[in-house]
Amino acid sequence: MRVGVVGLGMGLYLATWCRRLGMEVVAACDRDPARRAAAAVHLSSAAVFEDWRVLLEYDLDGVVLANDFDEHAPLAVAFLDRGIHVLSESAACADERQAIALLAAERRSAATYSFAENYVFHPHVQLLRKAVEAREIGRVTLVEADYLHAMSPDDVSSLIGDPNHWRGRIEPTAYCTHTLSPILALTGELPTEVTAFPVDTTDSRSAVVMVVRLSGGGLAVTRHGFLQGEPDSHWS
C-alpha cells in the first residue's frame, strides 16, 4: 500500500508505524523546513514537499492527515475526491459546514475516510462495548462521559490561549472526541442533536458540557476540559 503523510510532527511517528506494518511511505509534506529535514532523514525513500497539493498528483492508495485539527477537512475532501483513502489523526471538522462537506465527499467517493480515535480502544470502553453487545445492561438510554486532561495552569493557558496553536483557534466545543467517540463506539449510534455550553463564561475555553441526542433515542451527557494539578496526563 502506497501512503502519503501530511504534517510531520505526529505524522512522522505515524509514518514509522505505517512502514512497520508493511506500507510504503512514498511522499510527505510539512510547512516547517526543520520537520521536512528530519523527515528526509527518517523517510529517506519518500519525497518530501512543502505543499500538500503535490501529493494529490502522486500514485497514492491512502494518505495520513496529521496536520492541525482545524485544517483537516479541505484536505480530506480533496483526497477522497481523487479516490485516495484518508486517515485523520485527529477530528477533521472545525464547524458544521465542514462536517457536511466531508460526509458528502466520503459518500460519493470510492475511498474510505477513517478517524484515528484511540480512546475507543481503551480497556474500559471495550469492556462496556462488550457488555452492551451482549445485552448485559439492556438498551442504553442515558450515558455520561468525562475527559479531563491534566496540565498545570500555565501549560493550559499557553495551549488554549495561544492563537498560533490549533487549540487556541478552534471553538472549545469542537474538541469533544475523547468523550463522545467512546459513547458512539459502544452504542453503535450517531448524534442527531447537540447542545453545548462552556462551563465558566469567564473562562469559556477551559471546559465544556455537551448534551447529545443519539440516533437510538437515548441521551449522552459529556464533559471535557482540563483537570489542573493532577499527576497523570489523561482521564476518560
CATH class of 120-235: alpha beta
The CATH number of the domain covering residues in 2-116: 3.40.50.720
As a whole number of angstroms, the distance between CA 207 and CA 215 comes to 25
- pLDDT for res 56: 94
DSSP, collapsed to helix, strand or coil, labels residue 100 as helix
Residue 7 has pLDDT above 70, yes or no: yes
Domain boundaries, the chain: 2-116, 120-235
Give the strand pairing for 47-49 and 234-235.
unpaired
The span from the CA of 65 to the CA of 183, in Å, is 24
Residue 228: what pLDDT? Answer: 64
Tell the burial category of 52 from Cβ atoms under 10 Å away from its Cβ (0-12, 13-18, 19+): buried
Give per-residue pLDDT as tens, 74-129: 999 999 999 999 999 887 788 889 989 999 999 999 999 998 888 888 898 999 99
Q: What is the pLDDT of residues 182-198, one digit of tens each?
A: 999 989 999 999 999 99
